[in-house]
Amino acid sequence: MSRRSESITLRLTLLFAAVSTAVLLTLGLLIGNTVEQHFVEQDMDQMSGKLRLAGHLLERIQTPVALDALPLQLDDALVGHHDLAIVVRSAAERTLFATPGASFPPALLARNAVRNPPRPQVWQQDGPSGAQPRRGISALLPTGIRGEPPVLVAVAVDITHHDHFMASFRRTLWLFVAVAAALAGLLGWAAVRRGLAPLQAIRQGAAGITASRLDYRLAVDAVPVELAELAETLNEMLARLEDSFTRLKDFSSDLAHELRTPISNLMTETQVALTRARSPDEYREVLASNVEEYERLARMIGDMLFLAQADNGLIVPNREPVDLAAEVRELFDFFDALAEEKALQLSLTGEGQVSGDKLMLRRALANLLSNAIRHTPEGGNIRISIETSAGGIKLSIENSGEPIPEEHLARIFDRFYRADPSRHRSSDGAGLGLAITRSIVQAHGGEIFLCPTTNGVCFEMHLA
Amino acid sequence: MKILVVEDEPKTGDYLRQGLVEAGFVVDLARDGVDGLHLGETGDYDLAILDVMLPQLDGWQLLAGLRRAGREMPVLFLTARDQVEDRVKGLELGADDYLVKPFAFAELLARVRTLLRRGGRKAEADQMLVADLELDLMRRRVTRGGQRIDLTAKEFALLELLLRHRGEVLPRSLIASQIWDMNFDSDTNVIEVAVRRLRAKMDDGFEPKLIHTVRGMGYVLEDNTE
């Protein structure tokens, strides 16, 4: 199925040519048949006229002797009609009259084959200039002789001229059809090329898009209606790309910054320590301080590895039943000392069970709770509620305090993003906690978002 | 106690040897898998610390070779990769413990001591004593200088952990994992606060001080006057 499909131009051009050829062919056949029909009718008129004439003559013959005068009368009637052939035969198969050279197929001369109304037949007759086409009819006509059966009269016309005309007419017609079809194909090709020109314009526009020019947008108004939707979709894709790319760029520069700060601390501290001899206690102090920075770095690298694995879909959670309320109670127990120091009230309502990775979910919840404890002012409260519904489990964690300013809401889950820049590099983490929490929730097929709340901050997590 | 360390990264190897020697162990260091296997087969070690990524013969093969040679000492793996498959593979092959680089040296020491105690463990005493601190495991009671001290369940568990590892520095991550089952890099402030509260109850107002902070390492319980 990977075969590349034919070019649209080629396909449309072929379709154009095929359709016009079919239409022209049908038209040609129709015209040809009509003209031929017209000739047949003309011949029939002429032949019926002659039959009627013969009929009149025969009706006037009252005695068998009078029959002998028939050829003379017919000769008179046929003066000037060289292309006509007539044969008159009596019931006893005696030829009463025949034009010179006349020859008819047996089907026309057999009395029992005669049809009323007459049916024309076409045959070839050997003439002086090769085979000549003939069309003829026959009829049984009564004579004036009482008690005598009707005689058979057959009439034929030479249709060489008609055939010649038809042959040349058909030749002209086919030539015309061929030329017209080729022309239609050519016109179709030109029209398609013109019609597809906006696509070419879109292509050129897209070709100019690079990482540094992701702000380019296709002019939706300038493309035909049929392509407007495509252009809009492409523009939306570009917008998403630009957004992701911006985040990625921010992430890279944040990452560099986050790494540079502790390393610069380490370098300065160590170099200052080395400038002169110091007491063992002073060295110990420097080393201990360094270890703290190293630990921070190690933690950050570990977190980033986790996020990178999550991005690549490498975080595959175990599936075991996890009692969320029990996990929350364990975390309350863990954070108890910290919460008590700030006189925070921790409360839990509801319960629910999900299928997931216990360690990862605990980590996700720990990040949220640790965040909440950090941002709740002294004497505040943190409420966790778990609700079970048909759609799954909803867990919300809400803390009292200052709401997150509007401008930070969209980026709160971004890596290294801190709502308060002045909190940079405080004792807590590197700003990866919420990103990790979201990665874990997403790896479980769930979602997490900020929920509206009047005062304070509220996160809501949905798990299947 | 004799420990075999197989580590190809020169600095890591040297510091592991130095750290373990200073902690009172006899240490042999091999720089690649083949040397490691040779030492392991010929020498008599109580424990092996193996890096997973080794030249010539990786940690898994080395472990398999040791087991084939009938060496049953506990094995602790060091790896730079935090992959679940690695962990599973290591445990299937008979590794006893597993540490992901970078790790706190105090954590390695604590785990080494735990592995060495395993098997040869004496029956646990019902009571533990340090200076005038007394921990009664049966009755879950703590007294200091004959004075009863009320501890919460977690505080009791923390004190018991410190006492069992008396004289060993316990890193915060190990405490979080042992007491609260938080097996990830969690908020280490919590441990600081918990230790501070425990100290307030059983060290403040008493002499000598028993719980000490080792900056950059963790906490240790010992009687420095001994």
3-state secondary structure A45-106: HHHHHHHHHHHHHHHHCCCHHHHHHHHHHHHHHCCCCCCEEEEEECCCCCEEEECCCCCCCH
**Partners of residue B3 on adjacent β-strands:** B27, B47
Same structural domain for residues B209 and B136?
A: yes
Task: Give tens-digit pLDDT for A98-131.
Answer: 887 777 887 777 777 777 777 788 888 776 667 7
Q: Which of B110, A447, A13 is nearest to B97 (CA)?
A: B110
- Using a CB-CB distance cutoff of 8 angstroms, which residues of chain B are in contact with residue A358? none
Predicted confidence (pLDDT) at residue A67 exceeds the cutoff of 80: no
Classify residue B29 as exposed, middle or buried by CB count within 10 Å of its CB (0-12, 13-18, 19+). Answer: buried
Last residue of a domain, one of A311, A345, A379: A311
Tokens of A59: 């009706």
Structural domain boundaries enclosing B204: 127-221
Sole residue written with tokens 């009627």: A52
Domain boundary among B117, B144, B177: B117
- Give the helix/strand (H/E) hosting A278: none
- Within a domain: A195: no
Cis before B208? omega within 30: yes
Please indicate if any CB of chain A lies within 8 Å of the CB of B108. no
Is A207 inside any structural domain?
Answer: no
Confidence at A48, pLDDT banded by 50, 70, 90: confident
How high does pLDDT run on average in chain B?
85
Asked which of B117, B152, B185 is the last residue of a domain, the reply is B117
Q: Are residues B131 and B109 in the same domain?
A: no
Tell the burial category of A112 from Cβ atoms under 10 Å away from its Cβ (0-12, 13-18, 19+).
exposed
In a domain, B175, yes or no: yes
Question: What total number of domains does chain B contain?
Answer: 2
Whole-angstrom Cα distance, residue A197 to residue B59?
Answer: 63
Give yes or no: residues A21 and A109 share one domain: yes
Whether B10 and chain A come into contact, CB under 8 Å, resolves to: no
**Arithmetic mean of pLDDT, A258-276:** 87
Tell me what pLDDT residue B122 has: 52
Q: Is A209 left (phi over 0), alpha (psi -120 to 50) or beta?
A: beta
Residue B66 domain-assigned (yes or no): yes
Both B84 and B140 in a single domain?
Answer: no
B226 in a structural domain: no
CATH for B194: 1.10.10.10
Answer for the pair B43, B35: CB distance below 8 angstroms, yes or no.
Answer: no
| Model confidence at A77: pLDDT above 90 | no
Q: Based on the fold, state whether residues A34 and A145 are members of the same structural domain.
A: yes
Residue A358 lies in a domain: yes
User: Both B158 and B93 in a single domain?
Assistant: no
The answer on A244 and A393 residing in a single domain is no
The answer to whether position B33 is within a domain reads: yes
Q: Are residue A282 and residue A336 in the same domain, yes or no? A: no
Q: Is residue A249 part of a domain?
A: yes
One domain for residues A293 and A357: no
* One domain for residues A119 and A151: yes
CATH number at residue B96: 3.40.50.2300
A183: in domain: no
B91 touches chain A (CB under 8 A): no
Same domain, A253 and A332: no
Tell me which of A280, A311, A342 is where a domain ends. A311
Q: Are A443 and A360 in contact (CB under 8 A)?
A: yes
Distance, CA of B12 to chain centre: 18
Does residue B6 sit in the same domain as residue B108?
yes
The candidate with the shortest Cα–Cα distance to B191, out of B157, B150, B168, B164, is B157
Residues B146 and B67 occupy one common structural domain:
no
Considering only CA atoms, which of B108, B219, B207 is closest in space to residue B159? Answer: B219
Residue B37 lies in a domain: yes
Lowest mean pLDDT among A145-149, B42-46, B138-142: A145-149
**Residue A285 at interface with chain B, using a CB cutoff of 8 Å:** yes
- Residues spanned by the domain of A452: 320-463
Looking at the structure, tell me whether residues B109 and B133 fall in a common domain: no
| Best CA proximity match to B173, nearest among A285, A306, A299 | A299
The residue with greater pLDDT, A459 or B117, is A459
Measured in Å, how far apart are chain B's first and last C-alpha atoms? 24
Q: What is the pLDDT of residue A345?
A: 93
* Res B88: pLDDT: 65
- Distance CA(B84)–CA(B49), nearest Å, equals 19
Whether B110 and B53 map to the same domain: the answer is yes
pLDDT interval class at A268 (50, 70, 90): confident
d(CA A145, CA B133) in angstroms, rounded, equals 160
* Option in A302, A336, A366 nearest B182 (CB): A366
User: Is residue A185 assigned to a domain?
Assistant: no
In terms of domains, do B8 and B92 share one? yes
- The verdict on A61 and A123 lying in the same domain is yes
CA torsion angle for A250, A251, A257, A258 (degrees, to 10)? 150
Contacts of B195 in chain A (CB under 8 A): none
- Which of A72-76, A360-364, B71-75 has the weakest average pLDDT? A72-76
The pTM assigned to this predicted structure is 0.62
Residues B17 and B83 in one domain: yes
A210 sits in which H/E element: none
Cα–Cα distance, B5 to A452 (Å, whole number):
56
Residues B65, B158, single domain; the answer is no
Residues 370-389 of A with CB under 8 A from B: 370
Closest CA to B191 of A429, A334, A327: A334
Coil, strand or helix: which one is A350? Answer: coil
Best probe of the B interface among A281, A336, A432, by most B CBs < 10 A, is: A336
Computed over every residue of chain A, the mean pLDDT equals: 84
- Contact assessment for residue A361 and residue A347, using Cβ atoms and an 8 Å cutoff: no
Residue with tokens 């025949």: A98
**Considering its fold, how many domains does chain A have in total?**
3
**In a shared domain, residues B75 and B174:** no
Domain finish residue from B117, B151, B185: B117
| DSSP β-ladder status, B97-100 and A457-463 | unpaired
Instruction: Choose one of A114, A141, A171: the last residue of a domain.
Output: A171
CATH number of the domain that A416 lies in? Answer: 3.30.565.10
Q: Are residues A396 and A446 in the same domain?
A: yes
